[in-house]
Structure 1
């Protein structure tokens, strides 16, 4: 099953979260680029990188944003795994991936939580803070 089918299954209540994340990691996504960086939006203190499963989904997004879908919209083709394992840890602050955000019935958010992003950047993983250390005596 492809990512869009896994998203559909999750949205209908019959999906498996582990299968969804696995498919997301294996899927080549289209990530639009603007001003030298990946296009993203902020909501609720989280940065959401926009990623799309097809050029058609990306074109729907462009139209909703008031962009000319016929104009060249630069994008990178990138594995979902690369987004969460390499790109997100290089950014400041909590960051997740918003897939096919212009598709009302086919969108899915992959938040910055354990099991999706690496633990050091997951917002739900407590970091251990050891006792404060002063100068040696």
Structure 2
């Protein structure tokens, strides 16, 4: 089963979140690049969290580009990155709360991997306060 199938299963309430996370970690996702030298990964900020945008395939990336107002023939450079590398290397290097938003333009097939314990390394995870101070 591929990442997209695990996302669908989890969204339907039948999947296992740990299995989904494992599949994401093993999957190569496409991450658009931005900036003059195209050396930065495309991201959006929402709710105090920096979300790296990742896509399961070129069709999902094209859907996002189209909804973002890009011309159909406009190139969108991207890099293929393992999910584990995003979670374990890229996010800690950002120095701020960050997660990964997968297939953001697909209302029925998107998935967020937030900066929570068990998803990103503990030292960069955002901990809920529940009346206690965050570490």
- Per the normalisation by structure 2, the TM-score is 0.91
* CA distance in structure 2 between the aligned counterparts of 1:69 and 1:4, rounded to whole angstroms: 24
* CA distance in structure 2 between the aligned counterparts of 1:69 and 1:121, rounded to whole angstroms: 38
SS, match of residue 104 in structure 1: coil
What residue is the counterpart of 2:66 in the other structure?
63
* CA distance in structure 1 between the aligned counterparts of 2:120 and 2:40, rounded to whole angstroms: 19
* CA distance in structure 2 between the aligned counterparts of 1:67 and 1:92, rounded to whole angstroms: 30
| Gap regions ≥5 residues in structure 1 | 128-137
| Gap regions ≥5 residues in structure 2 | 129-133
Cα RMSD (Å) of the superposition? Answer: 1.1
Which range moves more in the overlay, 40-49 or 64-73?
A: 64-73
* CA distance in structure 1 between the aligned counterparts of 2:86 and 2:108, rounded to whole angstroms: 23
Which range moves more in the overlay, 10-19 or 62-71?
A: 62-71
* Matched residues, number: 127
SS, match of residue 71 in structure 2: coil
What residue is the counterpart of 2:110 in the other structure?
107
What residue is the counterpart of 1:84 in the other structure?
87
* CA distance in structure 2 between the aligned counterparts of 1:71 and 1:56, rounded to whole angstroms: 14
Once the two structures are TM-superposed, the CA of residue 22 in structure 1 deviates from its matched residue by 0.1
